[in-house]
Amino acid sequence: MLGWEAGPRDPGPETRKGNFAARNQIVPPLSILIPGHHMFFRNLTLFRFSPAVTKSLKDLDAALAGRVLRACGPLELATHGFVSPFGPDSEVLSHSVAKATLVTLGSEEKLLPAAVVNAELGKRLRKESERRGKPVGGRQRRAIKAEVLDTLLPQAFVRPARLNAYLETKNGWLVLDTASRKAAETALTALREALGSFPAQPLAAAETPRALMTQWLSSGKLPDGLALGDECELRDPAGGAVIRCRKQELESDEVRAHLKQGKQVFQLGLQFEERASFVLGEDLVIRKFRFLDVVQDSLDAGGKDSAAAELDARFALMTLELERLLQGFQQWFGLERPVEGNKKAA
């Protein structure tokens, strides 16, 4: 399962009694029904790519067109492919503002609970055992289970999901709206398959994030533009206690006492230039990202007259604001942009 913006959950036992056709209808999630809804990314997983890779993105639209999302077949568990950021009524597969290009990877996944499979499998195994007068062997059991899956898969619910990402070619950033490493790798694989090659690299910090964030919190001295938020996660690096603080004054004596005992910062709530707040992890994944009122107010004052115009405005604002934050990241943690010929690709 992908950790993306997903559609509705199972509607419950009463609805499940309905006919199979109704059960297989795909209900798009809210973010797809209303283009631009939730356009502001909520989690940021980051990769870097070189100037040489930037040149290969000139034919991005044509590449994505060869890997569009298709419906799940009757016997398929899942499919992945690119969809329009503007929603199901559009065939446009990317949207660019300045040097940033928005793309959306979609998926369809069959929901087939293990309990349902096991119940049907048990029923068939009992019948086969009674017919043969002896227990069913391992090979026959696997064959019967395959038959069960072939029977149930065409009847399973289909859950759609979407993952937004953008490629910023000026400075070589790939930004994915997910905190899941698995979902990020799935998106990277899809981009590589579409482009033929996409040697993006995971972040490799010159400054250890855990040590640097621990220093920030213990000293109270942060880089220009950064301020402490109200949550953190402290851990004993030897594998001992874990302390999670939320809505907490991080410069309190209580927090400092834990730091003096040797605990280190694994996640830290921060604010950037009084315009955005987020929680930064030792893995350099940004979670709970949100713009503060001053940014939201500047967007609301625009009064866009269509969903597409709103998406354009939100994307332009988000990428402009994030450009400054990512420049800070590069400086604070020593995240140099890869150069051509570097072999450490994701």
Tens digit of each residue's pLDDT (9 = 90 or more) over 250-306: 999 999 999 999 999 999 999 999 999 999 999 999 999 999 998 888 777 666 677
- Is the domain of 16 the same as that of 108? yes
CB contact at 8 A, 31 and 163: no
Q: How many domains does one find in the chain?
A: 3
Q: Which residue has the tokens 């064959």?
A: 143
- Is the domain of 172 the same as that of 245? no
- What is the separation, in whole angstroms, between the first and last Cα of the chain? 21
- Is the domain of 103 the same as that of 138? no
Nearest to 66 by CA among 215, 222, 234, 195: 195
Residues in contact with 221: Cβ distance below 8 Å, sequence separation at least 6, in sequence order: 215
Q: Quote the pLDDT of residue 36.
A: 40
Residue 286 CA to residue 210 CA, distance in Å, equals 14
Torsion of the alpha carbons at 339, 340, 341 and 342, rounded to the nearest 10: 30
- Is the domain of 251 the same as that of 275? yes
Residues of the chain with pLDDT under 70: 1-38, 301-304, 341-346
Residue 344: inside a domain, yes or no?
Answer: no
Residue 95: inside a domain, yes or no?
Answer: yes
- Is the domain of 96 the same as that of 193? yes
Residue 131: inside a domain, yes or no?
Answer: yes
- Is the domain of 189 the same as that of 41? yes
Which of 202, 217, 232 finishes a domain? 202
The whole domain housing 130 covers: 114-151
- Is the domain of 100 the same as that of 122? no
Residues in contact with 215: Cβ distance below 8 Å, sequence separation at least 6, in sequence order: 221
Residue 343: inside a domain, yes or no?
Answer: no
Residue 77: inside a domain, yes or no?
Answer: yes
Torsion of the alpha carbons at 303, 309, 313 and 318, rounded to the nearest 10: 130
Predicted model pTM: 0.81
- Is the domain of 120 the same as that of 106? no
Which of 142, 170, 202 finishes a domain? 202
Which of 182, 202, 222 finishes a domain? 202
Residue 346: inside a domain, yes or no?
Answer: no
Residue 295: inside a domain, yes or no?
Answer: yes
Residue 42 CA to residue 282 CA, distance in Å, equals 18
- Is the domain of 127 the same as that of 182? no
- Is the domain of 136 the same as that of 169? no
- Is the domain of 85 the same as that of 220? no
Residue 338: inside a domain, yes or no?
Answer: no
- Is the domain of 156 the same as that of 33? yes
